[in-house]
Every structure is written in C-alpha cells, then in structure tokens.
C-alpha cells in the first residue's frame, strides 16, 4: 500500500495486499472455528472475541497514542480536529464508516494526509469477525458432513453476494464498495 501512496511506478496496485490478507486471515480463522465446532459441537464466542482483543488492541492503542502524540507536534491546530475524530473512529473499529460516509477517496490526492487512513481495513476485518463465527456455527449446526456441505454452500453464497454487491455499487457508490465490510466479505 505504501508503494501506491508513494506513486512508485509499477507498484501502484500494492493495495491488493489487503485483500490477500483478508483471504488468508479468513481461511485460517475459519479453519480454527470449524475445528472447534467439529471437536466440541460449539464455538465459544466470548473466548474467540477475547483472543482477538488481546491480540489486536495493544497494537492499536499504541499506534493511536503514538500517532496522536506525534501529530500534536507535527500538525497545525486546524488539522488536529479531523485527525482526532478519525482516531476515535479507529479506536472503535469504525474508521471505514468514517471514510466512506465522509467521502474520503483512498486514492485521491491528499488522502495520505489522514494519519489513520490505514485503519479502514482493521475496521472491515473486525466487523466481519463480529458476524462470521456465529454464521459458521449456524451453518455447521452439529450435522457432521452435512454441516460442512452447508458451510461450503454458505461461504459460496457470501462470496457471490459480496462480489455482486461490490460490482453493483462500484460505479454509483465506489466508496461504499471500497470501504464497507459486506462488500469485502
């Protein structure tokens, strides 16, 4: 992504790495959820969310505090208001909503001035994992092989719906297509 913002020739599409990360993360986490569900007949949602918070929250808070402190020294007082609002949204894993609704085109000149622009993808990921474990559990429904077949069909349906939704919105609402979780599923 940094190459895209730095306008490095032939590396301007570095943003595809986020989608690759989403796919790898989804593959690994879904595998663990299926393992737990087939071994125990359930997915313990609270421990799942606690593990995610323990893994992600310390780094997020460190980044927010460090960037916030640096911005007080490096930016003009006029620029701090928008940065502070975006930091608040990032702390709640909602910066993707903030950028989509606020019409901040990720690739527009000047967008790189938002110090928290990169947090949109974390918002998408965490919004996805609020819903995904429950959907996996519901699709598996303790039915052994039938549950796995239903899970595969459900995953295919999510993929198709997400892709078609993204295609449909890309022309008329490109920021929603880019930033919003259902269209990245």
Task: Name the DSSP letter for residue 42.
Answer: S
CA distances to 29, 134, 140, 162 from 38, in Å: 14, 14, 8, 27
CA-based angle 145:146:151, to the nearest 5? 95
Question: What distance in Å separates the CA atoms of residue 16 and residue 165, rounded to the nearest whole number?
Answer: 19
In which band, very low, low, confident or very high, does the pLDDT at 5 lie, cut at 50, 70 and 90? Answer: low
Q: Has residue 41 got a pLDDT over 80?
A: yes
User: What pLDDT is recorded for position 2?
Assistant: 54
**Range from 120-124, 144-148, 153-157 carrying the lowest mean pLDDT:** 144-148
Please check the confidence at residue 123 and state whether its pLDDT lies above 70.
yes
Short-list 177, 181, 89, CA closest to 132:
181
Confidence (pTM) = 0.86
Q: Looking at the predicted structure, is the pLDDT value of residue 4 above 60?
A: no
129 pLDDT more than 80: yes
Q: What is the pLDDT of residue 114?
A: 92
């Amino acid at each position: 992504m940094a190459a895209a913002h730095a306008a490095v020739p032939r590396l301007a599409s570095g943003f595809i790495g986020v989608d690759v990360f989403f796919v790898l993360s989804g593959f690994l986490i879904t595998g663990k959820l299926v393992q737990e569900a087939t071994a125990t007949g359930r997915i313990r949602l609270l421990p799942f969310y606690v593990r995610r918070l323990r893994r992600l929250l310390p780094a997020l808070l460190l980044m927010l505090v460090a960037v916030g402190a640096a911005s007080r020294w490096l930016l003009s007082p006029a620029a701090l208001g928008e940065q502070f609002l975006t930091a608040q949204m990032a702390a709640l894993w909602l910066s993707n909503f903030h950028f989509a609704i606020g019409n901040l085109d990720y690739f527009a000149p000047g967008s790189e001035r938002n110090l928290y622009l990169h947090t949109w993808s974390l918002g998408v990921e965490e919004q996805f994992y609020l819903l995904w474990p429950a959907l996996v559990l519901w699709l598996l429904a303790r039915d052994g092989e039938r549950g796995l077949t239903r899970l595969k069909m459900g995953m295919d349906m999510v993929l198709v719906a997400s892709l078609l939704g993204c295609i449909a919105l890309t022309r008329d609402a490109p920021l929603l297509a880019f930033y919003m979780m259902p269209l990245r599923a």
